[in-house]
Amino acid sequence: MSSRSSPLSPPASNPASMRQLWVLMATVFVDMIGFLMVLPLLPFYAKQLGASATVVGALVSAFAFAQLATSPFWGRLSDRYGRRPLILMGLLSSAAAYVLFGLANSLWLLFASRLVQGAGGATTGVVQAYVADAVEPKERAKALGWLTAATSAGVMIGPLLGSFTTYLGPHAPGFLAAGLCLLNALSAWLWLPEPKRRDETGAQPIAGAAGAVPAVARQPLRQAMMGVLRHPTAPVSALIWIYSIGMMAFMAMNGVLALYLAQVFQVSEKTIGWYYAYVGSVSLVMRGLLLGPAVRRFGEVGVTRLGAVALVLGLITLPLAPNLPILALTALFMPIGTALLFPATTALVSSLAPRSETGQIMGVQQSFGGVARMLGPLWAGFVFQKVGVRYPFWLAAVLMMGVSVLTRRLDDGKKPAAAPVPSPVEPS
Protein backbone atom coordinates (compact mmCIF):
# COMPACT_ATOMS: atom_id res chain seq x y z
CA MET A 1 0.00 0.00 0.00
CA SER A 2 1.42 3.38 -0.94
CA SER A 3 1.95 6.18 1.54
CA ARG A 4 -0.89 8.11 -0.08
CA SER A 5 -3.40 5.55 1.17
CA SER A 6 -2.16 5.52 4.73
CA PRO A 7 -4.45 7.50 7.07
CA LEU A 8 -1.44 8.84 8.97
CA SER A 9 0.71 9.82 5.98
CA PRO A 10 0.84 13.60 5.51
CA PRO A 11 -1.10 15.12 2.61
CA ALA A 12 1.09 15.58 -0.45
CA SER A 13 0.38 19.29 -0.79
CA ASN A 14 2.76 22.17 -1.46
CA PRO A 15 4.98 23.40 1.41
CA ALA A 16 2.83 26.48 2.07
CA SER A 17 -0.28 24.35 2.46
CA MET A 18 1.56 21.95 4.76
CA ARG A 19 2.70 24.84 6.99
CA GLN A 20 -0.88 26.12 7.20
CA LEU A 21 -2.14 22.64 8.04
CA TRP A 22 0.43 22.09 10.80
CA VAL A 23 -0.37 25.46 12.39
CA LEU A 24 -4.12 24.71 12.20
CA MET A 25 -3.55 21.28 13.75
CA ALA A 26 -1.66 22.87 16.65
CA THR A 27 -4.45 25.43 17.02
CA VAL A 28 -7.29 22.91 17.26
CA PHE A 29 -5.17 20.63 19.46
CA VAL A 30 -4.61 23.31 22.11
CA ASP A 31 -8.19 24.56 21.77
CA MET A 32 -9.53 21.06 22.44
CA ILE A 33 -7.26 20.68 25.48
CA GLY A 34 -8.84 23.79 27.00
CA PHE A 35 -12.35 22.67 26.09
CA LEU A 36 -11.91 19.22 27.66
CA MET A 37 -10.17 20.62 30.73
CA VAL A 38 -13.41 22.20 31.93
CA LEU A 39 -16.18 20.10 30.34
CA PRO A 40 -15.85 16.99 32.56
CA LEU A 41 -15.66 19.20 35.66
CA LEU A 42 -18.86 21.13 34.88
CA PRO A 43 -21.35 18.68 36.49
CA PHE A 44 -19.29 18.47 39.69
CA TYR A 45 -18.96 22.25 39.98
CA ALA A 46 -22.67 22.69 39.29
CA LYS A 47 -23.64 20.12 41.92
CA GLN A 48 -21.44 21.92 44.48
CA LEU A 49 -23.43 25.08 43.71
CA GLY A 50 -26.72 23.27 44.35
CA ALA A 51 -27.72 22.29 40.81
CA SER A 52 -30.07 19.37 40.19
CA ALA A 53 -29.56 16.89 37.35
CA THR A 54 -32.06 18.87 35.28
CA VAL A 55 -30.05 22.07 35.78
CA VAL A 56 -26.83 20.23 34.90
CA GLY A 57 -28.48 19.16 31.65
CA ALA A 58 -29.46 22.77 30.98
CA LEU A 59 -25.86 23.88 31.58
CA VAL A 60 -24.58 21.36 29.06
CA SER A 61 -27.28 22.50 26.63
CA ALA A 62 -26.39 26.19 27.00
CA PHE A 63 -23.22 25.63 24.98
CA ALA A 64 -25.25 24.08 22.18
CA PHE A 65 -27.81 26.89 22.32
CA ALA A 66 -25.07 29.46 21.67
CA GLN A 67 -23.69 27.29 18.86
CA LEU A 68 -27.14 27.03 17.34
CA ALA A 69 -27.59 30.79 17.38
CA THR A 70 -24.22 31.64 15.87
CA SER A 71 -22.77 28.79 13.77
CA PRO A 72 -24.51 29.59 10.44
CA PHE A 73 -23.39 33.20 10.68
CA TRP A 74 -19.78 32.24 11.50
CA GLY A 75 -19.74 30.20 8.30
CA ARG A 76 -21.26 32.94 6.16
CA LEU A 77 -19.02 35.62 7.66
CA SER A 78 -15.98 33.46 6.95
CA ASP A 79 -17.08 33.14 3.32
CA ARG A 80 -17.25 36.94 3.12
CA TYR A 81 -14.41 38.20 5.34
CA GLY A 82 -12.01 35.27 5.53
CA ARG A 83 -11.35 32.21 7.67
CA ARG A 84 -8.48 33.54 9.78
CA PRO A 85 -10.30 36.48 11.48
CA LEU A 86 -13.22 34.25 12.46
CA ILE A 87 -10.93 31.56 13.91
CA LEU A 88 -9.13 34.21 15.98
CA MET A 89 -12.44 35.62 17.24
CA GLY A 90 -13.56 32.15 18.27
CA LEU A 91 -10.36 31.53 20.23
CA LEU A 92 -10.65 34.85 22.08
CA SER A 93 -14.29 34.13 22.94
CA SER A 94 -13.28 30.76 24.37
CA ALA A 95 -10.59 32.41 26.51
CA ALA A 96 -13.18 34.79 27.97
CA ALA A 97 -15.48 31.84 28.70
CA TYR A 98 -12.76 29.99 30.61
CA VAL A 99 -12.08 33.08 32.73
CA LEU A 100 -15.78 33.13 33.66
CA PHE A 101 -15.59 29.43 34.50
CA GLY A 102 -12.61 30.09 36.79
CA LEU A 103 -14.46 32.92 38.53
CA ALA A 104 -17.81 31.13 38.76
CA ASN A 105 -19.25 31.18 42.27
CA SER A 106 -22.87 30.88 41.15
CA LEU A 107 -24.91 28.96 38.62
CA TRP A 108 -25.52 32.18 36.69
CA LEU A 109 -21.80 32.61 36.04
CA LEU A 110 -21.57 29.00 34.96
CA PHE A 111 -24.41 29.61 32.50
CA ALA A 112 -22.68 32.76 31.22
CA SER A 113 -19.45 30.82 30.74
CA ARG A 114 -21.23 28.13 28.73
CA LEU A 115 -22.99 30.66 26.50
CA VAL A 116 -19.81 32.57 25.70
CA GLN A 117 -17.91 29.34 25.14
CA GLY A 118 -20.63 28.06 22.82
CA ALA A 119 -20.48 31.21 20.72
CA GLY A 120 -16.70 30.90 20.45
CA GLY A 121 -16.88 27.19 19.68
CA ALA A 122 -19.31 27.57 16.79
CA THR A 123 -16.51 27.78 14.22
CA THR A 124 -16.49 24.11 13.17
CA GLY A 125 -17.57 24.98 9.65
CA VAL A 126 -14.94 27.73 9.46
CA VAL A 127 -12.15 25.27 10.32
CA GLN A 128 -13.42 22.84 7.69
CA ALA A 129 -13.65 25.64 5.15
CA TYR A 130 -10.06 26.72 5.96
CA VAL A 131 -8.84 23.25 5.04
CA ALA A 132 -10.97 23.26 1.89
CA ASP A 133 -9.27 26.50 0.85
CA ALA A 134 -5.72 25.56 1.82
CA VAL A 135 -5.45 21.96 0.62
CA GLU A 136 -5.85 20.42 -2.84
CA PRO A 137 -9.21 18.65 -3.34
CA LYS A 138 -7.68 15.17 -3.59
CA GLU A 139 -5.88 15.68 -0.26
CA ARG A 140 -8.69 17.25 1.80
CA ALA A 141 -10.03 14.05 3.33
CA LYS A 142 -6.57 13.10 4.55
CA ALA A 143 -5.89 16.63 5.81
CA LEU A 144 -9.13 16.69 7.78
CA GLY A 145 -8.28 13.24 9.12
CA TRP A 146 -5.05 14.66 10.49
CA LEU A 147 -6.94 17.58 11.97
CA THR A 148 -9.35 15.21 13.65
CA ALA A 149 -6.46 13.18 15.03
CA ALA A 150 -5.08 16.39 16.56
CA THR A 151 -8.40 17.14 18.25
CA SER A 152 -8.63 13.54 19.48
CA ALA A 153 -5.20 13.94 21.07
CA GLY A 154 -6.56 17.05 22.81
CA VAL A 155 -9.55 15.03 24.01
CA MET A 156 -7.14 12.53 25.53
CA ILE A 157 -4.90 15.08 27.29
CA GLY A 158 -7.36 17.81 28.32
CA PRO A 159 -9.47 15.88 30.85
CA LEU A 160 -6.43 14.56 32.69
CA LEU A 161 -4.92 18.03 32.83
CA GLY A 162 -8.21 19.40 34.14
CA SER A 163 -8.49 16.78 36.87
CA PHE A 164 -4.86 17.23 37.94
CA THR A 165 -5.29 21.02 38.02
CA THR A 166 -8.13 20.73 40.55
CA TYR A 167 -5.47 19.87 43.15
CA LEU A 168 -4.31 23.49 42.81
CA GLY A 169 -7.78 24.78 43.67
CA PRO A 170 -11.25 24.92 42.12
CA HIS A 171 -10.45 28.03 40.04
CA ALA A 172 -7.22 26.71 38.54
CA PRO A 173 -8.67 24.67 35.63
CA GLY A 174 -10.58 27.62 34.21
CA PHE A 175 -7.70 30.05 34.51
CA LEU A 176 -5.19 27.62 33.01
CA ALA A 177 -7.55 26.86 30.11
CA ALA A 178 -7.95 30.61 29.51
CA GLY A 179 -4.17 31.08 29.48
CA LEU A 180 -3.71 28.27 26.99
CA CYS A 181 -6.42 29.76 24.79
CA LEU A 182 -4.80 33.21 24.81
CA LEU A 183 -1.44 31.70 23.86
CA ASN A 184 -3.23 29.75 21.16
CA ALA A 185 -4.81 32.91 19.77
CA LEU A 186 -1.44 34.69 19.78
CA SER A 187 0.21 31.79 17.96
CA ALA A 188 -2.57 31.68 15.38
CA TRP A 189 -2.31 35.45 14.86
CA LEU A 190 1.44 35.13 14.26
CA TRP A 191 1.60 31.98 12.17
CA LEU A 192 -1.84 31.12 10.76
CA PRO A 193 -2.24 33.01 7.46
CA GLU A 194 -5.43 33.56 5.52
CA PRO A 195 -5.70 30.74 2.95
CA LYS A 196 -6.00 31.52 -0.73
CA ARG A 197 -9.62 31.00 -1.75
CA ARG A 198 -10.11 28.37 -4.42
CA ASP A 199 -12.54 28.82 -7.29
CA GLU A 200 -14.16 25.46 -7.84
CA THR A 201 -17.41 24.13 -9.08
CA GLY A 202 -19.80 22.20 -6.85
CA ALA A 203 -19.25 18.58 -6.06
CA GLN A 204 -21.14 15.75 -7.67
CA PRO A 205 -24.42 14.68 -6.08
CA ILE A 206 -24.64 11.66 -3.84
CA ALA A 207 -27.21 8.91 -4.06
CA GLY A 208 -29.78 8.27 -1.38
CA ALA A 209 -33.34 7.22 -0.72
CA ALA A 210 -34.75 9.85 -3.06
CA GLY A 211 -32.09 9.48 -5.79
CA ALA A 212 -29.51 12.00 -6.88
CA VAL A 213 -29.89 15.74 -6.60
CA PRO A 214 -27.82 18.43 -8.25
CA ALA A 215 -25.22 20.45 -6.39
CA VAL A 216 -26.68 23.23 -4.30
CA ALA A 217 -26.81 26.70 -5.81
CA ARG A 218 -26.18 29.75 -3.66
CA GLN A 219 -29.33 30.51 -1.70
CA PRO A 220 -30.37 32.47 1.38
CA LEU A 221 -29.35 30.91 4.66
CA ARG A 222 -32.93 30.54 5.90
CA GLN A 223 -33.93 28.85 2.65
CA ALA A 224 -31.06 26.39 2.94
CA MET A 225 -32.13 25.46 6.47
CA MET A 226 -35.82 25.20 5.61
CA GLY A 227 -34.97 22.89 2.72
CA VAL A 228 -33.78 20.27 5.18
CA LEU A 229 -37.18 20.42 6.93
CA ARG A 230 -39.29 20.51 3.78
CA HIS A 231 -37.45 17.73 1.97
CA PRO A 232 -36.30 15.33 4.71
CA THR A 233 -35.86 12.40 2.29
CA ALA A 234 -33.54 14.25 -0.09
CA PRO A 235 -30.03 12.78 0.19
CA VAL A 236 -28.35 15.68 1.96
CA SER A 237 -31.38 16.22 4.22
CA ALA A 238 -31.53 12.55 5.20
CA LEU A 239 -27.85 12.63 6.09
CA ILE A 240 -28.29 15.75 8.19
CA TRP A 241 -31.14 14.04 10.05
CA ILE A 242 -28.97 10.96 10.65
CA TYR A 243 -26.21 13.20 11.98
CA SER A 244 -28.58 15.23 14.16
CA ILE A 245 -30.53 12.37 15.74
CA GLY A 246 -27.30 10.51 16.39
CA MET A 247 -25.86 13.65 17.96
CA MET A 248 -28.91 14.03 20.20
CA ALA A 249 -28.52 10.48 21.49
CA PHE A 250 -24.79 10.92 22.07
CA MET A 251 -25.18 14.25 23.85
CA ALA A 252 -28.01 12.90 26.02
CA MET A 253 -25.60 10.26 27.26
CA ASN A 254 -22.79 12.78 27.63
CA GLY A 255 -25.00 15.20 29.56
CA VAL A 256 -25.55 12.79 32.45
CA LEU A 257 -22.48 10.58 32.20
CA ALA A 258 -20.47 12.31 34.94
CA LEU A 259 -23.51 12.31 37.23
CA TYR A 260 -23.99 8.59 36.60
CA LEU A 261 -20.32 7.76 37.22
CA ALA A 262 -20.33 9.83 40.42
CA GLN A 263 -23.46 8.15 41.77
CA VAL A 264 -22.70 4.56 40.79
CA PHE A 265 -18.89 4.39 40.87
CA GLN A 266 -18.04 7.34 43.20
CA VAL A 267 -16.05 9.14 40.49
CA SER A 268 -15.06 12.71 41.46
CA GLU A 269 -13.71 15.78 39.68
CA LYS A 270 -10.21 14.53 40.52
CA THR A 271 -10.73 11.17 38.79
CA ILE A 272 -13.23 11.87 35.98
CA GLY A 273 -10.34 12.83 33.68
CA TRP A 274 -9.16 9.21 33.52
CA TYR A 275 -12.43 8.09 31.91
CA TYR A 276 -12.34 10.82 29.27
CA ALA A 277 -8.65 10.17 28.59
CA TYR A 278 -9.40 6.48 28.04
CA VAL A 279 -12.21 7.25 25.61
CA GLY A 280 -10.08 9.88 23.87
CA SER A 281 -7.22 7.43 23.36
CA VAL A 282 -9.57 4.90 21.72
CA SER A 283 -10.96 7.68 19.53
CA LEU A 284 -7.45 8.70 18.47
CA VAL A 285 -6.65 5.14 17.39
CA MET A 286 -9.97 4.79 15.59
CA ARG A 287 -9.71 8.05 13.65
CA GLY A 288 -5.97 7.96 13.06
CA LEU A 289 -5.50 4.30 12.12
CA LEU A 290 -8.76 2.46 11.48
CA LEU A 291 -11.25 4.90 9.99
CA GLY A 292 -9.62 5.16 6.56
CA PRO A 293 -9.28 1.38 6.05
CA ALA A 294 -12.87 0.90 7.26
CA VAL A 295 -14.15 3.35 4.64
CA ARG A 296 -12.15 1.67 1.88
CA ARG A 297 -13.54 -1.69 2.94
CA PHE A 298 -17.20 -0.82 3.62
CA GLY A 299 -17.74 2.57 1.96
CA GLU A 300 -18.97 5.69 3.73
CA VAL A 301 -22.55 4.43 3.90
CA GLY A 302 -21.42 1.11 5.35
CA VAL A 303 -19.29 2.87 7.95
CA THR A 304 -22.28 5.04 8.88
CA ARG A 305 -24.33 1.91 9.53
CA LEU A 306 -21.60 0.29 11.60
CA GLY A 307 -21.25 3.44 13.70
CA ALA A 308 -24.97 3.51 14.46
CA VAL A 309 -24.95 -0.12 15.59
CA ALA A 310 -21.90 0.44 17.80
CA LEU A 311 -23.58 3.36 19.56
CA VAL A 312 -26.74 1.31 20.13
CA LEU A 313 -24.67 -1.41 21.80
CA GLY A 314 -22.76 1.08 23.92
CA LEU A 315 -25.83 2.92 25.15
CA ILE A 316 -27.58 -0.32 26.11
CA THR A 317 -24.68 -2.00 27.88
CA LEU A 318 -22.87 0.91 29.57
CA PRO A 319 -25.45 1.37 32.38
CA LEU A 320 -25.50 -2.41 32.95
CA ALA A 321 -21.79 -2.62 33.84
CA PRO A 322 -21.43 -3.92 37.43
CA ASN A 323 -17.85 -2.73 37.94
CA LEU A 324 -15.17 -0.52 36.44
CA PRO A 325 -13.44 -3.20 34.29
CA ILE A 326 -16.74 -4.11 32.62
CA LEU A 327 -17.54 -0.41 32.28
CA ALA A 328 -14.26 0.05 30.43
CA LEU A 329 -15.25 -2.68 27.99
CA THR A 330 -18.75 -1.35 27.33
CA ALA A 331 -17.42 2.20 27.00
CA LEU A 332 -15.36 1.09 23.98
CA PHE A 333 -18.50 1.12 21.85
CA MET A 334 -18.92 4.89 22.30
CA PRO A 335 -15.68 6.18 20.69
CA ILE A 336 -15.87 3.44 18.06
CA GLY A 337 -19.42 4.48 17.17
CA THR A 338 -18.74 8.21 17.06
CA ALA A 339 -15.51 7.73 15.08
CA LEU A 340 -17.47 5.86 12.42
CA LEU A 341 -20.86 7.57 12.34
CA PHE A 342 -20.17 11.30 12.49
CA PRO A 343 -17.16 11.64 10.14
CA ALA A 344 -18.86 9.46 7.51
CA THR A 345 -22.08 11.46 7.52
CA THR A 346 -20.10 14.71 7.43
CA ALA A 347 -18.15 13.36 4.46
CA LEU A 348 -21.33 12.56 2.56
CA VAL A 349 -22.88 15.97 3.30
CA SER A 350 -19.69 17.81 2.35
CA SER A 351 -19.67 16.17 -1.07
CA LEU A 352 -22.58 18.45 -2.02
CA ALA A 353 -20.88 21.67 -0.95
CA PRO A 354 -19.62 24.11 -3.60
CA ARG A 355 -16.30 25.51 -2.43
CA SER A 356 -17.69 29.04 -2.33
CA GLU A 357 -20.37 27.92 0.15
CA THR A 358 -18.47 25.38 2.23
CA GLY A 359 -18.73 27.47 5.36
CA GLN A 360 -22.47 28.05 4.95
CA ILE A 361 -23.40 24.42 4.24
CA MET A 362 -21.29 23.12 7.08
CA GLY A 363 -22.87 25.81 9.23
CA VAL A 364 -26.36 24.53 8.35
CA GLN A 365 -25.35 21.00 9.36
CA GLN A 366 -23.88 22.31 12.59
CA SER A 367 -27.09 24.24 13.24
CA PHE A 368 -29.17 21.07 13.13
CA GLY A 369 -26.51 19.37 15.19
CA GLY A 370 -26.76 22.29 17.59
CA VAL A 371 -30.48 21.66 18.08
CA ALA A 372 -29.64 18.05 18.87
CA ARG A 373 -26.86 19.05 21.27
CA MET A 374 -29.26 21.39 23.03
CA LEU A 375 -32.23 19.02 23.35
CA GLY A 376 -30.34 15.84 24.28
CA PRO A 377 -28.88 16.96 27.63
CA LEU A 378 -32.11 18.78 28.53
CA TRP A 379 -34.33 15.72 28.43
CA ALA A 380 -31.56 13.42 29.69
CA GLY A 381 -31.07 15.48 32.85
CA PHE A 382 -34.81 15.51 33.50
CA VAL A 383 -35.13 11.74 32.96
CA PHE A 384 -32.05 11.10 35.15
CA GLN A 385 -33.61 13.08 38.00
CA LYS A 386 -37.26 12.05 37.66
CA VAL A 387 -37.23 8.50 36.24
CA GLY A 388 -33.93 6.79 36.97
CA VAL A 389 -30.19 7.04 36.42
CA ARG A 390 -30.07 4.35 33.70
CA TYR A 391 -33.05 5.44 31.62
CA PRO A 392 -31.38 8.34 29.74
CA PHE A 393 -28.93 5.83 28.25
CA TRP A 394 -31.67 3.45 27.19
CA LEU A 395 -33.85 6.18 25.69
CA ALA A 396 -30.80 7.38 23.76
CA ALA A 397 -30.35 3.79 22.53
CA VAL A 398 -33.90 3.87 21.16
CA LEU A 399 -33.03 7.03 19.22
CA MET A 400 -29.94 5.34 17.81
CA MET A 401 -32.07 2.40 16.70
CA GLY A 402 -34.07 4.93 14.69
CA VAL A 403 -30.82 6.25 13.18
CA SER A 404 -29.86 2.70 12.24
CA VAL A 405 -33.16 2.34 10.40
CA LEU A 406 -32.54 5.62 8.55
CA THR A 407 -29.09 4.47 7.41
CA ARG A 408 -30.75 1.51 5.71
CA ARG A 409 -32.43 3.95 3.32
CA LEU A 410 -29.09 5.16 2.01
CA ASP A 411 -27.87 3.81 -1.29
CA ASP A 412 -24.48 2.12 -0.82
CA GLY A 413 -23.99 1.38 -4.49
CA LYS A 414 -21.18 3.92 -4.70
CA LYS A 415 -18.27 3.21 -2.37
CA PRO A 416 -15.70 6.00 -2.47
CA ALA A 417 -12.03 5.08 -2.29
CA ALA A 418 -11.06 8.12 -0.25
CA ALA A 419 -11.21 8.45 3.51
CA PRO A 420 -14.15 10.38 4.91
CA VAL A 421 -14.04 14.12 5.50
CA PRO A 422 -14.43 14.34 9.29
CA SER A 423 -15.24 17.36 11.33
CA PRO A 424 -12.23 18.45 13.34
CA VAL A 425 -14.34 18.75 16.45
CA GLU A 426 -16.64 15.77 16.19
CA PRO A 427 -17.42 14.07 19.50
CA SER A 428 -15.10 11.39 20.67
**Alpha-carbon distances, residue 344 vs 6, 233, 273, 388 (angstroms):** 17, 18, 28, 33
CA angle 350, 353, 357 (to 5 degrees): 125
Q: What is the pLDDT of residues 166-177, one digit of tens each?
A: 999 999 999 999
Provide φ and ψ at 314, rounded to 5°.
Answer: -65, -45
Burial of 209 from C-beta contacts in 10 A (0-12 / 13-18 / 19+): middle
Residue 59 near residue 41, CB atoms below 8 Å: no
Query: Is 123 within the bounds of a domain?
Result: yes
CA atoms within 13 A on the CB side of 193: 10
Q: Residue type at 334?
A: M
Has residue 5 been placed in a domain? no
Q: Model confidence over 188-225: pLDDT tens digits?
A: 899 888 887 655 444 433 333 333 333 434 556 677 77
Nearest partner of 379 among 87, 57, 139, 156, judged by Cα: 57
Q: Report the pLDDT value the prediction gives residue 207, as an integer from 0 to 100.
A: 35
Residue 415 lies inside a defined structural domain of this protein: no
Q: Is 105 helix (H, G, I), strand (E, B) or coil?
A: coil
Q: Is residue 421 part of a domain?
A: no
CA angle (72 as vertex; 338, 155 as ends), nearest 5 = 30
Whether 34 maps to a domain, the answer reads: yes
pLDDT in tens, 286-328: 877 888 889 888 888 899 999 999 999 999 999 999 999 999 9
Q: Is residue 427 part of a domain?
A: no
**Domains of the chain: total:** 1
Q: Looking at mean pLDDT, say which of 20-24, 132-136, 201-205, 247-251 comes out highest.
A: 247-251
Model confidence pTM above 0.85: no
Percent of the chain whose pLDDT exceeds 90? 45
CATH code for the domain of 335: 1.20.1250.20
**Is 81 contained in some domain?**
yes
Range of the domain at 271: 15-407
Check residue 272 and give its pLDDT: 96
Is 416 within the bounds of a domain?
Answer: no
Q: Worst-scoring range by mean pLDDT, 128-132, 189-193, 278-282, 371-375? A: 128-132
